[in-house]
Structure 1
Amino acid sequence: MERESFENEEVAKLLNDNFVSIKVDREERPDIDNLYMAVCQTLTGQGGWPLNVLLTPDQQPFYAGTYFPRRSILGRMGLMDMLEQIRDRWQKDQQGIVDLSTELMEEVKQHTLTSHTGEVHEGLLHEAYEQFIKRYDSVYGGFGSAPKFPSPHNLSLLLAYGRAYNHAEATRMAVHTLDSMYRGGIYDHVGFGFARYSTDEQWLVPHFEKMLYDNALLAIAYLDGYQATGEQKFAEIAETIFTYVLRDMISPEGAFYSAEDADSEGEEGKFYVFTREEIEQVLDLEDMHTYCHIYDITPEGNFESKNIPNLIHPSLEEVAAERGLSLLGLETLLEECRTKLWAYREQRVHPSKDDKILTAWNGLMLAALARAGKTLQKPVYANAAARAAEFLWQHLRREDGRLLARFREGEAAYEAYVDDYAYLLWGCLELFEATGQALHLKRVLELKDNLFRLFYDEQDGAFYFSGRDGEQLLTQSKEIYDGALPSGNSVLAVQLNRLAAITQDADLQIVGGKLLEAFGGTVSKYPTGYSMYLQGVLHQVQGSKEIVISGRAEDPMLHEMISAVQIAYLPGAALIVNYQGKQGADLRMILPHLEDKPAIQDQATVYICENFACHAPLTTLEALKDELAWHVS
C-alpha cells in the first residue's frame, strides 16, 4: 500500500484535503494496534496488516480494513473510492457516523476486549493435546495448512506435556516439527536464523523477513528439544541462531535490533536465493554436485526460477556412503561450501535492517541466550545476555525507574507495556539462574513490583496491557492470546510461579493462580491458542519446584552439581546457587530462607523442594543425578 497508494500524489491530496493522516509503528505502539485490530476483527471478522482504520476526531473508530488497492478492482473496494464515500457521508451525516462508532465500540468491548474467568484444571492440557493431534501435519510437521507459522511456544508446550504425562506422540509431533522447520527454506542454510513464516505447507518458501522475537523463541524451543530428547542436532541449530543474532542483529552496545526486511533492491527474497549457475561459479565442480544434491539446487529452481537452499535429502549418512566419505568428512565439506556461499552472498545488497531496540523483544533474546548459557554450559551466551540486560537497564529506564519500550538513535521513548515488563522479567530470571548473581534477581523483583503497581487489576486478577500512567485510549485490554508472540499475562503465569518458588512467597503463587483463573473461560473455548498460558497451567498442576545448591565457589563439586541441574530438562523448576561466605551474602539478604540451607560439613549440598517443602539434602553428585533421573523419568 505504501508503494501503490501512500506515495501517490492523487491519494495524498485526497487524504490531506479531507483527513488527518496518522501512521503508527505497531511495534512502538502495540496498545494502539491491539485496540484497533479488535475493531477490525469486529467489523470484518478478520484482522491483519496493513491495518487501516478511520476515526472520528475524538478517536472513535467507525471503519476498518486491511489491504485496499488504490482503486476498486475485481470486487475489492479501492482506497480512493472508500475515502471519497466516507468524505461524502461525513459531510452529510456526521452524527450518524458518531452514533455508529459508539455502537461499534460497545460491541468491541463486549466481545473482543473482555476475558472470561473459569476454573483452571489439567483437562485444559489434555483438550489442547487432542486439538493439536487433529491439526497436526503428519507429512511436513507443524499444524494446519499454509501459511505456516513456527509458533515455538506450541512446541515447548508439547515437549513439556509429553514429559509430564509420558505422551510419546506429543514429543514426536514437536520433534518432527522442529526437524522439518530446520530442513526447510524457512531456515537460512547459508547465513543462519529463521524467517518469519512459510508461505507453503512444506516450510520451503518463507516470507523472507527475519524477526528478533521469532529467533529468540525458536532458540528456546530448540534448546527444549535438545534437553527433552538429547538430540545434539537441536543444540547445534540453537547455536546457529545465536551465531546469526550476535553477528547481524547486535548493536555496538550489545543490545539487539528488531528485524531484517524481506526485500532487497525492491524484490522479496532476492538476497537469499541462488541460481544453479551461481553455485557452479562459487564451488568446485565435485563439491557443487554434492551441495546441489543435498540442498535441492536445480537448473529450473524451486522458487521463481531460482533456488532456496533446503535440506531435501533425508540422510546425510547415505550421501556420505555414496561418495566414499565419513559423515564427519561430508559435514566438513558442506560447511566449507556454506562458508563460500555466505561470503559470495555478503557481496549482495543487503535487506534493510530495522535498528529499533525494543525492550520486549530484547527480553526474549535475553531469555534465550541465558537458557543457552545454562543448557549448553557455554558462559559466552550468558555473558552476551548480561551485556544486553545492562544496556536495557541503563538506557531504557527513566530516572524514576519506569521502563520504556523503544530505543533508537540515542532516544528512549514510550512507557513500556506489560509485554516489555513480562519478557524482560523472564530474561533477567533466566540470567539469574545462569549466573547465580544477586543483581539479576534484584532486577526481577523491581520489575515485579512495578508490574503490580502499574498494570495489575486487583479485582479480577490479571494485568492490563498498558500502564496506569500511560496514554489512556478508549478502553483498556488484558491480552491472553498467544499468537506469534506469547501474551504478557501468559508469560507472567509461568514466570511468577518460578519466582514464587525462588522467593518462597506463597502469596505470589496465589496471585499466579488467580491470574490463570482470570482467563480460564476464554481459554477453554480454544486451548491451542493459548500455549504459553497452558505452560503456566502445567506448572501449577505439577506444583512449584525449587533446587538450591549450597557450597564454596572454589569447590569443583559445587560446579559439577550446578551443571547437572542446568542441563537437565526440568520445565518450570527454579534453580538457586547459594554461595557460602561473602560471595553469597547479597543473595541471602534478598532470600533469607537460604540461611536454612547451608553446605553440610562444608560439602556442596543440594536441596530439592516441592510446594515449599524440601526433601532430605543431597551431598554427592551420584545422589543428585539419581534424584534428577527420577524427576525427569
Structure 2
Amino acid sequence: MLSGDKPDPDPQPSGPQKRSPNRLVHEKSPYLLQHAYNPVDWYPWGNEAFSRAIQENKPVFLSIGYSTCHWCHVMARESFEDGDVAAVLNRGFISIKVDREERPDIDSVYMGVCQQMTGRGGWPLTIVMTPEKKPFFAGTYLPKKNVAGITGLSDILFRIIDLWQKNREELYRAADEIFRTSRPEYGTPAGNPDRRFLNEGFRELSGHFDEKNGGFGGAPKFPAPHTLIFLLRYWHLIGESRALAMAEQTIDAIRSGGIWDHVGAGMHRYSTDAQWLVPHFEKMLYDQALLVLACVEAYEATRTARYRTIAEECIAYVLNNLIDPGGGFYSAEDADSPGGEGAYYTWAKEEIARVLGPEDAALTFTLFTLTPLHETGVVPKGMPGDSISQRFILSAGGPDPVLANTLKITERELAVRRDSIRIRLRQARDERPRPARDTKILTDINALFCTALARAGRVFENPGYIDVASRTLQFICLHLRDADGHLLHRYSDGESGIMAFADDYVYLVSACLELYRATFKLTYLRDAISLNAVFLAHLLDAENGGFFTISDTVVDLPVRKKEWYDGAVPSANTIAFENLMQISRFTGDDALEKVALESARFIAGAAAHAPSSVAGFLAALTCSYPAGEIQDLVIVGNPAETDTRNLLDAAQSRYLPGLLILLRPPGRAGDEVDAVAPAARGRVRRDRRATAYLCSGSTCLPPVCDPQELIAQLNGRNETSAR
C-alpha cells in the first residue's frame, strides 16, 4: 500500500507512554480512526454513549468533522491529543466523535443549531448537549487556550462543568429553548414556480457577481458549479448573454487560478481570497464531479475546446488518484501532508530549476505565475517558517493566445511544451510524501461522479467514461445494499454500513437516468424507477411537500429535517424534483409529476426571499414544466443501424438541456420499452426507416426520418444555442 492511501490515525506513542485505543478503533470511518488513539475516551454516536450519559448524569461533548478537514487536524493536535484536556473531558463529559460524511443527518441538525446560536458554522463542529440530545453550547474550531479574544476549550469545559454541577436546571431550560427555536421552519409552499422565479434568481446572482474576478461575492470564494449550470441554461432559455458571460468568466478564472492544480489537475476545495489564487488545498470528489458537469455543459453550449479539456483533466485526476482497485471512488484528498498544509502542492524555484533545467525552468516562469506563499497572508499550519518564505503557488501566466504570442510559438506548440513541463513536475512531486486520502466510498458522491462520467462520455463520445460509470453503478449495487435490498451509505475497509439518506437515493436515481441517456439500455431506466419508488415510500413528506433527509426508519435523532437549500452540492430536494419530472415524462406517470410540483412549491416557498440559494433547483426548473422548455423525443429504430444513429447524433449534437430521448428498438425489445414507457406505444418506423417523434411542450410534431428535418424541429423553439 502506498503512503497516503489512507488517512493515518494520529501517531500512537511508543514505549512506556504507549496509549491504549479508545472505542473508535473498531470503527470504519478514516476520520474516526484518526482519533482512535487519542487519550479522550471517545464514543461513536449510538445508544451506548447516551445511555452512559444518562446513567452517569453527564453532559455530552459532541465533535463533528471529517478526515481531510484542516482545522479538525489542528484542534486534534492542540486539544484531543493533549492529556490535560482529555482528563477534563473524560471526567466531566461523555465524548462522541462523528464523521459528518458518514452521518450528514447528525451534522445537519447540529450545524443548524450552531448557525442559529453563533451566526456561523464550519468544521470541526463543537456541541455540548444534554443526554437527551438537546444542545446548550455550540461552536466550531476552539483553541486549547484563550487566544485573540476567543475563549479556549479548556476554560469552556471548566465553566460547563461548574454550571452542570451548580445550576443544571438553567442549562436544561436553555437547551429546551434552543431546541424549540432551532426546529426547522420552511415557510409557506408557494404556487408553481414560474419564469419570474428564474428571473429573480438570475437577478440576485447578477448583483452578487464579481465583475473583476468571476464568481460570486468576496473571500472566501467557492466554485459552486451548479450555479454555473443554471447560468448556462438560463442563457439558453431566455437568451440573456450576461448569464453566459458570467459562467464562462468564472470557469476560466477557476482554471487559471491557484484553486486549480496546474501540475496534477483537479480543483481544490475553495479559494481563501477573492482572486481564486490561494486555495484551501483539500480536494473533494464531489467538487470534481460538479466541475465536470459544468464544463461538459459549457462545452455543449459553446463548443469551446478548453471546457472539454478542463473536464477531461478533472476526470483524469480522479481516475488516477481517487479510484479504488475494487471499484468505486474515494471521498477526498487532504490539504495537509508531512510538510504542512499545502506543502505537497507548492514549489520552491530551486526545485523547479533542478527538475527541469535552466531553459525549461525559465519557460515555466513565463507559463505560470509564481506567487510567494508568505505574501498571500495565508500561513499554513505545520509548515516551518523558513519553508513558507521559499514556497510559491502556481497559477496561469495568462491566456494561451497571449502566452503563445509572447513566446512567438503556436498555441499547439505551447500546449505540447507545457504538458511536457507538467509531466516532469508531477513525476517529481510524486516523490514527496503525499496528502492522505479519505478512502470511504459514499453512495451519493459516487453516484454524482457516475453521472458526470456518463454525461461526459455521451457528449465527448468517449465510451471509456461510460464503462467506468457503469462499473461504478455495479459496485454500488453489489456492495451498498443490505440483505433486504435497501441502500446503504458507506463502504470502507471491506464493510458496508449506515442506512442510506435522501442524497444517496436521489443521486443514484440520477446516475441511472444519465446512464440510460448515454446507452439507451432499458435496465438503467427500470433501476431508476424502482429506486425512486423506494425513495418515495420512505422519505416523502406527504403533508407539506418535499423530502426528509433521513428515512422514516431512522430513530436516533431528535428532529427530522428537510434540506431545501443547495450547499456544496445541490440538495436532495432539488435532485428529487429533477428525477421525478424526468421519470414522469419517460413513463407518463402523472402522479409523479404531481409529487414533483408539490416539491417545487415547497422549495420555492422556503427560498422565496433568496432564489439564488437554490441555484441547482433553478437549473432543474429551466428544463421542467412550468417554467422551462421541455422536448420529448421517441426514436424508433435499431441502434446498431446507421439511420438510427444518424437521428440520435442529430438530436444529441445540439445544446438542448430540456430534451429527453427514448429509444424504441424493433421487436421484443420494443415491447419491453412500451411496458416501461407507454409514450413509445404506437410509434413505428416509416418507410422502413428509423423515425423520430418529437413533442415540444404540449405540441407533437409530424414524424420525420431525415436528420436535418429533426434538427429543424428541435431548433424550432430556440435558436440561441447556435453559436
What's the TM-score once normalised by structure 1's chain length? Answer: 0.96
For residues 471-510 of structure 1, the C-alpha deviation after alignment (integer angstroms, 9 at most, x for no partner) is: 3411111111101111100111222112211112222112
Q: Does 1:375 align with 2:459?
A: yes
Q: Does 1:564 align with 2:650?
A: yes
The residue that corresponds to 2:105 in the other structure is 31
Q: Mark the CA change 1:174 to 1:377 in structure 2 (over 3 Å): closer, same or farther.
A: same
Match among 168, 182, 190 for residue 108 of structure 1: 182
Q: Does 1:159 align with 2:240?
A: no
Q: Distance in 1 between matches of 2:188 and 2:404?
A: 57
Match among 143, 148, 152 for residue 69 of structure 1: 143
Q: Distance in 2 between matches of 1:378 and 1:240?
A: 14
Cα distance, 1:549 vs structure 2: 1.6
CA contact (8 A) 2:650 2:708 kept: no
**3-state DSSP class of the match of 2:569?**
coil
The residue that corresponds to 1:225 in the other structure is 298
CA contact (8 A) 2:337 2:436 kept: yes
**3-state DSSP class of the match of 1:414?**
strand
Tell me which amino acid in the other structure corresponds to 1:542. G
Match among 95, 118, 138 for residue 190 of structure 2: 118
For residues 297-351 of structure 1, the C-alpha deviation after alignment (integer angstroms, 9 at most, x for no partner) is: 378987643222211213x234333434222112111111111111111111110
Q: Does 1:235 align with 2:308?
A: yes
Match among 107, 128, 133 for residue 59 of structure 1: 133
CA contact (8 A) 1:276 1:299 kept: no
The residue that corresponds to 1:86 in the other structure is 160
Q: Distance in 2 between matches of 1:182 and 1:194?
A: 8
Match among 561, 578, 597 for residue 477 of structure 1: 561
The residue that corresponds to 1:524 in the other structure is 608
Match among 398, 414, 422 for residue 313 of structure 1: 398
Q: Distance in 1 between matches of 2:130 and 2:407?
A: 70
The residue that corresponds to 1:188 in the other structure is 261
Tell me which amino acid in the other structure corresponds to 2:287. D
Of the structure 1 ranges 17-26 and 95-104, higher mean CA displacement relative to structure 2 is found in 95-104
Cα distance, 1:571 vs structure 2: 1.7
Q: Distance in 2 between matches of 1:284 and 1:576?
A: 56
**3-state DSSP class of the match of 2:320?**
helix
1:116-265 counterparts in 2 under 5 A? 116-119=188-191, 120-265=193-338
Q: Mark the CA change 1:265 to 1:631 in structure 2 (over 3 Å): closer, same or farther.
A: farther
Q: Distance in 1 between matches of 2:501 and 2:148?
A: 41
CA contact (8 A) 1:501 1:545 kept: no
Q: Distance in 1 between matches of 2:577 and 2:110?
A: 26
CA contact (8 A) 1:51 1:67 kept: yes
1:409-488 counterparts in 2 under 5 A? 409-488=493-572
Q: RMSD of aligned C-alpha atoms? A: 1.7
Tell me which amino acid in the other structure corresponds to 2:636. S
Q: Distance in 2 between matches of 1:586 and 1:254?
A: 30
Cα distance, 1:628 vs structure 2: 2.9
Of the structure 1 ranges 409-418 and 299-308, higher mean CA displacement relative to structure 2 is found in 299-308
Tell me which amino acid in the other structure corresponds to 1:381. Y
Match among 358, 371, 375 for residue 285 of structure 1: 358
Q: Distance in 2 between matches of 1:353 and 1:535?
A: 32
The residue that corresponds to 1:385 in the other structure is 469
**3-state DSSP class of the match of 1:283?**
helix
Q: Distance in 1 between matches of 2:436 and 2:176?
A: 41
The residue that corresponds to 2:678 in the other structure is 592
**3-state DSSP class of the match of 2:464?**
helix
Counting aligned pairs with the same residue, the percent is 37
For residues 238-280 of structure 1, the C-alpha deviation after alignment (integer angstroms, 9 at most, x for no partner) is: 0111101111111112211100000110511111111111111
Cα distance, 1:631 vs structure 2: 4.2
The residue that corresponds to 1:503 in the other structure is 587
Q: Distance in 1 between matches of 2:629 and 2:407?
A: 53
Q: Point out the structure with the larger helix share.
A: 1
What's the TM-score once normalised by structure 2's chain length? Answer: 0.85
Of the structure 1 ranges 491-500 and 242-251, higher mean CA displacement relative to structure 2 is found in 491-500
Tell me which amino acid in the other structure corresponds to 2:311. A
Tell me which amino acid in the other structure corresponds to 2:186. T
The residue that corresponds to 2:598 in the other structure is 514
Tell me which amino acid in the other structure corresponds to 1:364. L
Cα distance, 1:431 vs structure 2: 0.6
Cα distance, 1:40 vs structure 2: 0.8
Of the structure 1 ranges 140-149 and 437-446, higher mean CA displacement relative to structure 2 is found in 437-446
What is the aligned residue count? 630
Q: Distance in 1 between matches of 2:222 and 2:464?
A: 30
The residue that corresponds to 1:608 in the other structure is 694
Q: Distance in 2 between matches of 1:618 and 1:4?
A: 70
Unaligned ranges ≥5, structure 1: none
Q: Distance in 1 between matches of 2:285 and 2:654?
A: 27
Q: Does 1:581 align with 2:667?
A: yes
Unaligned ranges ≥5, structure 2: 1-74, 377-387
Q: Mark the CA change 1:325 to 1:261 in structure 2 (over 3 Å): closer, same or farther.
A: same
Match among 340, 347, 361 for residue 431 of structure 2: 347
